[in-house]
């Protein structure tokens, strides 16, 4: 029986095909799973999906009606999955519980350094043979304070890099990470972290409790010249409130690899279309904002690990085994 994989990037396809070779036939599609594309999966027992797939109840019902019995999501986050509907429909849902934390942590630092040192503006100028330095002044990060919201594996990797820069470390999480404490991190309430940090980086999952974790009040608590980086999930930031603060001239820089309304936009070529999302259109016009299209995880190492874990999830399903990657059934 052939697996149908939705939302496969061109660079990702050979890795998926090679990993499944000898185990299972797989057919890769570059279209994303939505209500419109879900009927394509009819007759496929196993469907693999990407991070921006729509796995709400209507899509899951269409999949189940077409004979799908397992959904193997190629991502860690699962805020896009209606787990209650999946359980009601008797679907097995698995994710990739972990992959290279360095891919995301290193990219978060790439964003931080790019906005701090005005790399995009400088590159644009030199392409036009404009070699002036006016407006390109950044700041040393050595000796300044990095605030890490979420100190799991990725947050820890980010903190290790910050420690290498010689930064003071503040952390916020439901549990303290001993490895971060060993780096000298001090855990503080969120508002204290925001008020004292020169660089704030988000590394928490998106769930009801973290939706708009950085809301209007949180943004106002931050330093006017702070740098804000989000390489986790777009819904962690109230983007409308962020635009308001940017319009007021606040923040040295903002680096966003995710956006709360990115579904239907990110991973697609929209260059010849009018963008109806006024918030995103406004956001990308600010000279101190850098937006990338959810690529922090996109390294050979991380994608290879994601694909290998997906293969294991499928093989476990076939053999009736459970692992920490199974979200449904929940017992």
Round the average pLDDT of the chain to a whole number and report it: 96
Q: How far apart, in whole angstroms, are the C-alpha atoms of residue 319 and residue 328?
A: 16
* Cα distances (angstroms) measured from residue 289 to each of 58, 247, 255, 267, 298: 36, 11, 6, 19, 21
Structure tokens belonging to residue 289: 């904002």
Is residue 196 scored above 80 in pLDDT? yes
Which tens digits make up the pLDDT trace of 239-255? 999 999 999 999 999 99
- The tens digit of pLDDT for each residue in 150-167 reads 999 999 999 999 999 999
Burial 121-149 (b: 16+ CB within 10 A, else e): bbeebeeeeeeeeeeeeeeebeebbbbbb
Range 180-202 average pLDDT? 98
User: With a threshold of 0.95, does the pTM exceed it?
Assistant: no
Q: Is the pLDDT of residue 296 over 90?
A: yes
pLDDT of residue 1: 75
Q: Give percent of the chain above pLDDT 70.
A: 100
CA distance 137 to 142: 16
Q: List, by residue number, the catalytic residues.
A: 233, 262
Dump pLDDT digits (tens) for 15-72.
Answer: 999 999 999 999 999 999 999 999 999 999 999 999 889 999 999 999 999 999 999 9
DSSP 286: -
Long-range contacts of 129-138 (CB under 8 A, 24+ apart): none
Buried b (16+ CB within 10 A) or exposed e, 51-77: bbbbbeeebbbbbbebebebbbbbbbb
pLDDT of residue 52: 86
76 touches 97 (CB < 8 A): yes
The token pair that represents 244 in the structure block: 């308001």
**pLDDT per residue as tens digits for the range 73-131:** 999 989 899 999 999 999 999 999 999 999 999 999 999 999 999 999 999 999 999 99
| DSSP-assigned letters across all residues of 9-66 | -TTTHHHHHHHHTTT--EEE-SSPP-TTTGGGGTT-SEEEE-TT--BSHHHHHHHHHT
Report pLDDT for 77.
Answer: 86
* 8-state DSSP, 234: G
What is the Cα–Cα distance from 92 to 24, expressed in whole angstroms?
Answer: 18
Task: Please check whether residue 74 is in contact with residue 96, taking contact to mean a CB–CB distance below 8 angstroms.
Answer: yes
């Amino acid at each position: 029986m052939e697996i149908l994989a939705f939302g496969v990037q061109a660079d990702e396809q050979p890795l998926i095909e090679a990993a499944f070779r000898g185990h299972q036939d797989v057919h890769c599609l570059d279209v994303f799973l939505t209500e419109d594309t879900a009927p394509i999966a009819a007759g496929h027992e196993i469907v693999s999906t990407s991070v921006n797939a729509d796995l709400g109840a209507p899509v899951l019902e269409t999949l189940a009606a077409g004979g799908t019995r397992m959904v193997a999501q190629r991502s860690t986050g699962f805020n896009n999955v209606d787990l209650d509907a999946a359980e009601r429909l008797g679907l097995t849902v698995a994710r990739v519980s972990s992959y290279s934390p360095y891919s995301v942590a290193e990219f978060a630092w790439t964003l931080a350094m790019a906005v701090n040192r005005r790399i995009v503006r400088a590159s644009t100028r030199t392409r036009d043979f404009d070699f002036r330095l006016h407006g390109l002044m950044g700041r040393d990060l050595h000796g300044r304070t990095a605030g890490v919201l979420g100190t799991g594996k990725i947050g820890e990797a980010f903190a290790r890099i910050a420690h290498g820069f010689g930064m003071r470390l503040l952390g916020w999480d439901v549990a303290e990470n001993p490895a971060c404490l060993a780096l000298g991190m001090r855990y503080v309430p969120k508002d204290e972290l925001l008020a004292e940090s020169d660089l704030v980086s988000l590394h928490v999952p998106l769930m009801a409790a973290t939706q708009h974790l950085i809301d209007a009040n949180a943004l106002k608590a931050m330093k006017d010249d702070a740098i804000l980086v989000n390489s986790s999930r777009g819904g962690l930031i109230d983007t409308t409130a962020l635009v308001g603060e940017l319009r007021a001239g606040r923040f040295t820089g903002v680096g966003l690899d995710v956006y709360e309304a990115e579904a239907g936009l990110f991973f697609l070529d929209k260059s010849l279309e009018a963008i109806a999302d006024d918030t995103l259109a406004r956001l990308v016009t600010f000279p101190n904002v850098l937006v990338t299209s959810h690529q922090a995880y996109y390294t050979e190492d991380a994608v290879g690990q994601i694909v290998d874990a997906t293969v294991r999830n499928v093989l476990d399903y076939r053999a009736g085994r459970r692992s920490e990657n199974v979200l449904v059934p929940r017992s």
